[in-house]
């Protein structure tokens, strides 16, 4: 029996291009839609029988109803679909999904927020060397800023026109058709994202990214001189430190110190001053987040010695960092209580 939805008929399950390992659900649907010369939102409507779901963050989690609609429309195993949802991977960096609908650390790239300017980050060498280019799930994680495979910086905007990397809106004129690889082009100026410059990160940024990725994948391990049985314990503490350095008004002086100490572009300081009061690390562009990543590498080598030293240099005590409304990982809580009280 044919299923019909808003003039679109589906008489059999769709045979889509295979989903890649660690591929964002949105990336997969975009690839398939453009391959079939369709708008991604149109393919999404056919699959989910819902015109609004394309505007939600389908990479993170899907309702039972949406999952069932997906399985009814697409020839795919349920475990393969669920495996690529970020909610199924978040226990290693944010295991508190039941406490909040928002998964912390995930870069916000949905279209449900008016004036959304956040962007997906990517490695230009990855999509240039892929047999089938695609966008990875871990590119949405705010504590990663560089590619551990190619040793280059992630980018989170078009290097030609500075527009955000957008996997949501794809438009065409009446006289033009989609091309299968249009998702690798900037939506604003059509610049090929694979041609973007390869920028080398600092040693500290690269080493921190390698440690962060290894801990993410294995779910346990060492960072600096500390060992964590559960990786999320580190990421919880790191998020509090980065929130202070990158988002708190009282952390600007320390941010400026890190920029000067490691010879980063002074324009980063101007961007940091403009950070809004209620921002979180995952709301920030890569140019600001990388400062927090570098700082994390510096302070974890001899934790808590260097951290305490720099805090005391800038007069930072527990009350500057601590909030009674939040839970703190033991390794950070102990330092705040005993050394920065």
**Mean pLDDT, residues 322-330:** 87
What's the whole-number mean pLDDT along residues 52-72? 91
Tell which wins on pLDDT, 97 or 191.
191
Structure-token pair, residue 325: 């409304």
**Residue where the block lists tokens 């010695």:** 305
pLDDT of 115 higher than 60: no
pLDDT band, very low/low/confident/very high, at 11 (cuts 50, 70, 90): low
- pLDDT value for 293: 97
pLDDT at 9: 53
**Does the pLDDT value for residue 77 go beyond 70?**
yes
Specify the higher pLDDT residue, 228 or 52.
Answer: 228
Chain centroid to CA 93: how far? Answer: 12
> CA separation (Å) from 204 to 14, 23, 197, 261?
46, 28, 20, 12
Distance CA 213, CA 155 (A): 17
- Residue 149 region, left (φ>0) first, then alpha (ψ -120 to 50), else beta? alpha
Using DSSP, state whether 305 is helix, strand or coil. Answer: helix
Contact between 70 and 48 (Cβ < 8 Å): yes
Q: Work out the average pLDDT over 285-294.
A: 95
Angle, CA of 234, 101 and 334, to the nearest 5°: 25
Work out the pLDDT band at 12, boundaries 50, 70, 90: low
Q: Does an H or E element contain 250, and which? A: none
Q: Is the pLDDT of residue 111 over 70?
A: no
Nearest CA among 114, 196, 187, 102 for reference residue 140? 102
H or E stretch at 83: helix 78-83
Lowest-pLDDT range, 20-24, 200-204, 284-288, 321-325? 321-325
Model confidence over 170-215: pLDDT tens digits?
766 555 778 899 999 998 899 999 999 999 999 999 999 999 999 9
| Res. 64: pLDDT tops 70 | yes
Q: How far apart (Å, rounded) are the C-alpha atoms in residues 301 and 299? A: 6
Task: With CA atoms as reference, report the closest residue to 296 among 287, 285, 306.
Answer: 306
Say what the pLDDT of residue 187 is: 86
Helix or strand run (H / E) with residue 227: strand 226-228
Tell me the average pLDDT of the chain.
90
The two three-digit tokens of residue 56, written as one number: 């939600």
What the block records as the tokens of 232 is 């999320």
Q: How many angstroms separate the CA atoms of 237 and 333, rounded? A: 9
Q: Which two tokens stand for residue 74?
A: 């697409």
Structure tokens at 206: 């690269």
DSSP assigned state of 8: E
Beta bridge partners of 269: none
Predicted TM-score of the model (pTM): 0.92
The pLDDT of residue 213 is 98
Distance CA 182, CA 36 (A): 12
Pick from 226, 213, 236: nearest CA to 299: 226
């Amino acid at each position: 029996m044919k299923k019909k939805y808003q003039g679109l008929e589906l008489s059999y399950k769709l045979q889509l291009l295979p989903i890649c390992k660690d591929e964002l659900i949105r990336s997969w649907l975009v690839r398939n839609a453009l391959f079939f010369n369709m708008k991604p939102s149109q393919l999404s409507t056919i699959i989910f029988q819902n015109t609004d779901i394309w505007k939600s963050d389908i990479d993170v989690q899907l309702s039972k109803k949406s999952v069932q609609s997906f399985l009814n429309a697409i020839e795919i195993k349920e475990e393969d679909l669920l495996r690529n949802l970020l909610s199924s991977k978040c226990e290693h960096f944010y295991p508190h999904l039941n406490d909040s609908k928002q998964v912390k650390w995930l870069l916000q790239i949905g279209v449900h927020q008016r004036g959304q300017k956040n962007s997906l980050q990517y490695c230009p060498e990855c999509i240039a060397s892929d047999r089938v280019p695609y966008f990875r799930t871990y590119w949405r994680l705010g504590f990663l800023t560089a590619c551990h495979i190619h040793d280059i910086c992630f980018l989170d905007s078009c290097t030609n026109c500075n527009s955000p990397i957008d996997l949501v809106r794809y438009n065409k004129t009446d006289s033009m058709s989609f091309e299968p690889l249009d998702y690798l082009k900037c939506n604003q100026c059509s610049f090929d994202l694979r041609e973007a410059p390869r920028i080398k990160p600092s040693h500290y940024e690269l080493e921190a990214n390698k440690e962060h990725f290894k801990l993410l994948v294995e779910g346990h391990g060492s960072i600096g001189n500390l060992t964590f049985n559960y990786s999320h314990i580190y990421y919880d503490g790191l998020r509090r430190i980065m929130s202070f350095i990158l988002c708190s008004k009282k952390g600007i002086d320390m941010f400026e110190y890190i920029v000067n100490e490691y010879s980063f572009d002074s324009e980063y300081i101007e961007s940091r001053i403009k950070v809004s009061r209620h921002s979180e690390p995952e709301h920030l562009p890569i140019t600001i987040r990388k400062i927090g990543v570098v700082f994390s590498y510096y302070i974890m080598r001899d934790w808590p010695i260097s951290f305490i030293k720099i805090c005391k240099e800038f007069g930072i005590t527990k009350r500057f960092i601590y909030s009674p409304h939040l839970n703190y990982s033991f390794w950070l809580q102990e330092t705040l209580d005993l050394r920065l009280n």
